[in-house]
Amino acid sequence: MTIDIIKECEGANRIGIGGHIRPDGDCVGSTLGLWMYLKKCLPDASVCVYLEKPSAIFAKIKGFDEINSAFPEEEAFDVFFALDCGADRLGDCEKYFRAAKKTINIDHHVSNAGTGTVNWVRPEIGSCCEVLYDLMDKDKLDRDIATALYVGMIHDTGVFQYSNTTPDTMRKGGELIAYGVDFSRLILETFYQKNYVQSQIMGRALMESIRFMDNTCIVSVIEQKTMDFYGATPKDLDGIVNQLRNIKGISCAVFMYQTDVMEYKVSLRTDERVNAAEVCTYFGGGGHMRAAGCTMRGTFHDCINNLSAQIEKQMVKA
């Protein structure tokens, strides 16, 4: 069984596309990739993308400048897509989703039971972009669409490193670069490159990190006042949790940054000893087996105490 995206949009004049709050590479790649694809296949329909303002590192993806981050009041859409999340994480897009005549939810989060009138959630697939690629007519793809999908694939698989990478992922990545994707530059500029401030704040997070549970776990936190000191925003903190995870002996890396008084955004990265999605789902978040997130309230110490109790329950004996 599969879904036919174009058939599902039959007769639709107004199509909207949204993704999750704090959009990442997979979210930006999948929304813009689908936007280009729908415009190409359905030239008479109006197609718009609504997302919180993404990081400027994605500016080279075609359509980036047309992303609407103002979330104006709109007439109800005939079809509204939620990509890389369920309705609950659409943020300001949720109102479009709720009002739309038809909703299509395409995702790969194990924590998403499917929130649309049509659902295609494939937790075994590493990125929403890879899920979308499977649903697209390959004759309609071009370099711009391939570039968008490739960005999502490399971001969610850590450039084909994480365990969500399969032989199929590699094959599809190969098919995408055959459209002429400038992959070396994309990987450097969107995934690895950090500016000076981002590098400094990462250094600080590593320096102040603390190991716990017999040195199998590590946590680091960046408070609002530290972000203010460096003139940094949450987008500047991407990659810190991955760096913590790369430390030898660590089964569970926790990175937290302050989002409000007594409120933290928490990111977890784990190895096979801990199911990150299960831990984060317990705290009202979600994600995947090896990468998940949630928002927690309380002091940093409250949060890490509560988290570590759940991690400990989960931790498989070495």
Among 291, 307, 311, 315, binds ligand AMP (CB under 6 A): 291
The Cα 24–Cα 55 span in angstroms is: 8
Size of the site for Mn ion (CB under 5 A): 6
Amino acid at 298: G
Task: State how far the Cα of 26 lies from the Cα of 130, in Å rounded to an integer.
Answer: 9
Edge-to-edge strand ranges of the sheet holding 79-83:
46-50, 14-19, 79-83, 102-107, 118-121
Q: Closest approach of Cβ 190 to ligand AMP, in Å?
A: 14
Contact 287, 293 (CB under 8 A): yes
Positions 135 through 194 that interact with Mn ion (CB under 5 A): 156
> Count of CB atoms within 10 A of residue 26's CB?
29
* Closest residue to Mn ion: CB criterion: 26
Structure tokens at 239: 């990659």
Task: Quote the least distance from Cβ 259 to ligand AMP, whole Å.
Answer: 11
Q: Which is nearer to ligand AMP, 16 or 293 (CB)?
A: 293
| Alpha helices, DSSP H, located in the chain | 5-8, 25-41, 94-99, 128-135, 143-157, 167-177, 183-186, 196-207, 224-230, 240-245, 276-282, 300-314
Least distance in angstroms from the C-beta of 12 to ligand AMP: 27
Q: Which of 73, 123, 77 is nearest to 104 (CA)?
A: 77
Residues 16-55 that bind ligand AMP (CB under 6 A): 20
- CB-wise, 26 or 144, nearer to ligand AMP? 26
Footprint of Mn ion on residues 66-95 (CB under 5 A)?
Answer: 84
Q: Give the shortest CB-145-to-ligand AMP separation in angstroms.
A: 22
**Interface with ligand AMP (CB under 6 A), residue from 294, 303, 304, 307:** 294
24 near Mn ion, rule: CB under 5 A: yes
Decide: is 238 part of the binding site for Mn ion (CB under 5 A).
no
DSSP calls for 70-97: S----PPPSEEEEESS-GGG-GGGHHHH
Q: Binding ligand AMP by CB under 6 A: which of 288, 296, 304, 307?
A: 288
Q: In the numeric block, which tokens belong to residue 25?
A: 């590479």
| Segment contacting Mn ion by CB under 5 A, of 52-60, 124-132, 134-142, 233-241 | 124-132
Binding to ligand AMP, residues 101-130 (CB under 6 A): 109, 111
Chain residues in the site for ligand AMP (CB under 6 A): 20, 89, 109, 111, 267, 285-288, 291-294
